[in-house]
Amino acid sequence: MRAGKYDGADRGSTPYRDRGSFFITDYMGWDRLIGQERVKHMLSSAISSKRVAHAWLFHGPAGSGKRAAALAFAQALQCKERFDGSVCGTCSACHKVPRMLHPDVHVLIPHANDAAPADLGARVALLAESPYSVIDYARRPSLDGSGGASNKQVSYLIGQVQEELRAPMSYRPVEGAWRIAILTHAQTMRTEGANAFLKLLEEPGNNTVFILLAERLDQVLPTIMSRCQQVRFSPLDADEIAAGIEREGLAPPDMAAVLARMADGSYEQARELALSKELRRSRDFILDFLRHAFKASGDDMMSRVDELAAEGRESVKFHLLVLLGLIRDLLLFAEAGKTAPIVNVDWQDVLVKFSGGLPLARLDTMADAVEHAIYMVERNVNQRLALANLAITLSRAMRGDGQVEAVPRVG
């Protein structure tokens, strides 16, 4: 485990483009695809057996890895050293494809009429950081998070098909063996856009590969669907998602497991949760909770407890795991000081303040109490009662009360 890798909250506060590139430097080609072993096998076999269809339709739920698979497939097709469906990882194509720099691999995003080319380019560039980045206009109307949901019609317009697809796909490959176009959200291809695209599909050039991505098969026009080789993606297992989150260094194991369950089969969703507001909000919330538990001024504390208890079970559990992470860091800090291998590396100042301000705190008791509260919440007991007990126990333990009562069993 490398120190300082669980910096999800920090990254969440910086613009997307500044996020780390941990993933790309450590994992290439098929290794960037989380799970989906069957798909991996199918696509690499298509290359090794020289049966590469000129049009593919990858379909399956959001975040199941369709873009990651399409990019890995593109890399395996373009690799200059391997021709068996694997990638060498060192040739110029293997360098360029995952970094979104290959001139013969085009990624298209449906957009409104007035989308700025620079903005489109920035969205595609996000895939270099992770093929699981959220890039579409529906879920991320602006890249910097400003502005709310857009009600602009987003689709493949005829102009886009002509300019971004027909032109580049009709030239000879610039430096690769194939010309590859990846069309995200292919279900938005309708009417004129679809007709223009169908013409391209009907008269494919040599070594041309179109990869269409769509969440649901029944949303894709039948005329398009029937011309593509279909590849189905299943929702990911929570274990696969958790392993990916850990591998990317976005959360420690226990929190990765919770994120994975909250993400409902979507690695994209788990990644978003880990990187952004949920974790940040939770961290702010539990610090506040701890402060109020320490002050322990009756009504005030109960209002915090009520606020927390009002959230869903998974969400409460998530908060409690964040709290447990902080207390474990405090334990490590108490033992080893500033060299302690803590998880919340950006909370050094909090740890220093806490240790200095509460020298009598019984950290073991605090950790036990949080673990017990998680146990209770998992078993669907009265959340409010479990959290009220937790707040009381934390309050006493922080003051170093000699006799801390055992946490009463509830339910």
Q: Which is nearer to Zn ion, 87 or 225 (CB)?
A: 87
The region of 88-96, 152-160, 217-225, 372-380 touching Zn ion under the rule CB under 5 A is: 88-96
Q: Among residues 34, 57, 74, 94, which is the contact residue for Zn ion, using CB under 5 A?
A: 94
Q: Does 287 bind Zn ion (CB under 5 A)?
A: no
- Asked if 255 interacts with Zn ion (CB under 5 A), we say no
Closest approach, Cβ 71 to Zn ion, in A, equals 14
Span interacting with Zn ion, options 86-94, 143-151, 178-186, 399-407, rule CB under 5 A: 86-94
Which residues have a Cβ under 8 Å from the Cβ of 20 and sit 6 or more positions away? 7, 11, 129
Binds Zn ion (CB under 5 A): choice among 13, 15, 21, 81: 81
Q: Among the candidate windows 42-50, 76-84, 191-199, 330-338, which touches Zn ion by CB under 5 A? A: 76-84
User: Smaller CB distance to Zn ion: residue 70 or 323?
Assistant: 70
Q: CA 87, CA 85: separation in Å to the nearest integer?
A: 7
Query: Is residue 34 a contact point for Zn ion (CB under 5 A)?
Result: no
d(Cα 72, Cα 69) in Å, to the nearest integer?
Answer: 5
Least separation in angstroms between CB 88 and Zn ion = 3
Residue 175 engages Zn ion in binding (rule: CB under 5 A): no
Closest CA relative to residue 73, chosen from 35, 95, 110, 105: 105
Binding part of the chain for Zn ion, among 81-89, 121-129, 218-226, 387-395 by CB under 5 A, reads 81-89
Q: Which residues contact residue 212 at a Cβ distance below 8 angstroms, ignoring those fewer than 6 apart? A: 55, 56, 57, 58, 183, 186, 220, 224, 228
Pick from 24, 52, 53, 88 the residue near Zn ion by CB under 5 A: 88
Burial tier of 198 (Cβ tally within 10 Å: 0-12, 13-18, 19+): middle
**CA 144 distance to own-chain centroid:** 17
Q: Return the number of the residue (72 or 165) whose C-beta is nearest Zn ion.
A: 72
Burial 343-381 (b: 16+ CB within 10 A, else e): bbeebeebbeebeeebeebbbebbbbbbebbbebbeeee
- 177 interacts with Zn ion by CB under 5 A: no
Residue 91 binds Zn ion (CB under 5 A):
yes
At 45, the amino acid letter reads S
Minimum Å gap between C-beta 178 and Zn ion is: 13
Q: What is the size of the binding site for Zn ion (CB under 5 A)?
A: 5
Binding piece for Zn ion, criterion CB under 5 A, among 31-39, 46-54, 87-95, 390-398? 87-95
H or E stretch at 62: none
CB 3 within 8 A of CB 341: yes
**Least separation in angstroms between CB 175 and Zn ion:** 13
In this chain, which of 79, 100, 161, 183 binds Zn ion, going by CB under 5 A? Answer: 79
Sign of the CA dihedral with 341 first, then 344, 348, and 350 last:
negative
Q: What does the alpha-carbon distance between residue 241 and residue 358 come to, in Å, rounded to a whole number?
A: 38
Which residues are at the interface with Zn ion (CB under 5 A)?
79, 81, 88, 91, 94
